[in-house]
Amino acid sequence: MAEQTLRTLMRTVDVAVTAAISPAAVVAVGLADLYARFPLRVGLGLGGGAISLSSQDTGRDATATRDEAVTQAVLVGALVGIPFAAFGLLFGADAIRLLGADPDVVPLGGTYLAVVLATAPARHVALIAARSLQGTGDTRTPMYVNAVANVANIVGSVGLGLGYFGLPELGVLGVGLATAAGNVFTALALMAAIASDATEAGFARPASAVITRQLFVVSLPKIAEGLSSTLAEFPFNAVLLTFGTNVNAAFQVGRRAYQQVTGPLSRGYSVAANVVVGQALGEGDSEGARYNGWAVAALGVLTVGLVGVLLAVYARPLVSLLDDTPATLRYAVPFAQVYGLSAPFLASFVALSGALQGASETRIPLLARATGMFGFLVGFAYVAGVALGWGVTAAYWSVVLSNVWMALVVALGFHYSGWADRAAGMMAERGNS
């Protein structure tokens, strides 16, 4: 969770630094990040496959298949990152222009996108290596490495972006270089940790097609889940813009306030549920795995729910730290409040999704996310807000309803589906390979 807190803080600092550069810089980095989320989702999806197999094989003491799964996942991630790097270098400016950016925004966004996407292979490797280590129960090594990288990234963004600490003032390019350097450092450090005797995981010569297939079986729905969330952002932002530019800006600010205070906790519980469920299944204890999943989800609901209530109560002063413009505050405060009040449902969804992922079941979270995002976040906001004339009130309700729906779907899936048998079958298949 400390690792996630620093990562979230790094993104918040980037927003503050670009705001200090110019309004065009804020827009440029914001638009570029829309594209940068695609390789992020792919890396997280492949990391999901890696942590699933790593945790299960650690639980059953199958170090050979675990190490091969780790190796294959890292190699696939590095290879899949190459097209993203080429896209950023060749079409970065065109991609920003395609979104209708102003002429002064295009070169800034294109430069930032090219620099960040150039390290997409490294970003994939870093995400997969971290998840692989976490699957063995080692959460400290990724935390230490990412803590160093994120602090350096923050210092680099401020230094290279604004010219502090004796560094050249490079503006948006400097912010991008700091992020890129952090990606490369994290990948190299985690690779070195896995290759050394300091960690339980290791590398092995890839030989099993069964492991390759299972990595994709687990990872592809996870990738699709992430991409569905990213794609839904486009029509939802379009709906918000029909209510006014200040409403769209308020949503970004309100959600950022929510993510800063609850995101690290939620993501930490997801990883924890994944590991304890996967390792219990590897040990052959399906009932223990079920108990662990519900226990982590309950802890997430209680703690994240409490933080969410505090956010709802103190939304105005917290949101004001990010943007104190009256036109923005008018809508940003309610957005932060609805996110805060629906936080227990989102925490439950994230934790139980992690538990299912630990059992190699990533299809149910995909179903929950896709239907929640497009059915409620986008669909309800458009039908009620635009067609029926509810306005921005519909957007508030769409956030709540999507979180409630996603939590309900994964809870039913975790209770009723045969995820334990699915995991047992896949482990047996790997063992026979």
Share of the chain above pLDDT 70, in %: 97
Does residue 376 carry a pLDDT above 70?
yes
Q: Does residue 4 surpass a pLDDT of 70?
A: no
Tell me the pLDDT of the chain averaged across its residues.
90
Q: Are 218 and 362 in contact (CB under 8 A)?
A: yes
Extract the runs of DSSP E, i.e. beta strands, from 148-273.
none
As given in the structure block, the two tokens for residue 94 are 């065109």
* In the predicted structure, residue 3 carries a pLDDT above the cut 60: no
Q: Are 19 and 160 in contact (CB under 8 A)?
A: no
Whether 418 shows a pLDDT value over 80: the answer reads yes
Structure tokens given for 36: 């940068």
251-260: pLDDT as tens digits: 878 888 888 7
Number of Cβ within 10 Å of residue 227's Cβ equals 18
The per-residue pLDDT for 349 is 96
CA angle 78, 82, 85 (to 5 degrees): 125
Tokens of 129: 């290596």
Report DSSP state, residue 39.
H
d(CA 139, CA 158): 28
What pLDDT shows up at residue 249? Answer: 77
Residue 166's alpha-carbon distances to 18, 159, 170, in angstroms, are: 19, 7, 12
- pLDDT of amino acid 408: 98
With CA atoms as reference, report the closest residue to 67 among 133, 125, 124.
133
323-360 pLDDT, tens digit each? 777 887 898 899 999 999 999 999 999 999 999 999 99
What pTM, to 2 d.p., does this model score?
0.85
Lowest mean pLDDT among 323-327, 329-333, 383-387, 392-396: 323-327
- How large is the average pLDDT for residues 112-131? 94
41 pLDDT above the threshold of 60: yes
Query: Measuring CA to CA, which residue among 20, 78, 15, 18 is closest to residue 46?
Result: 78
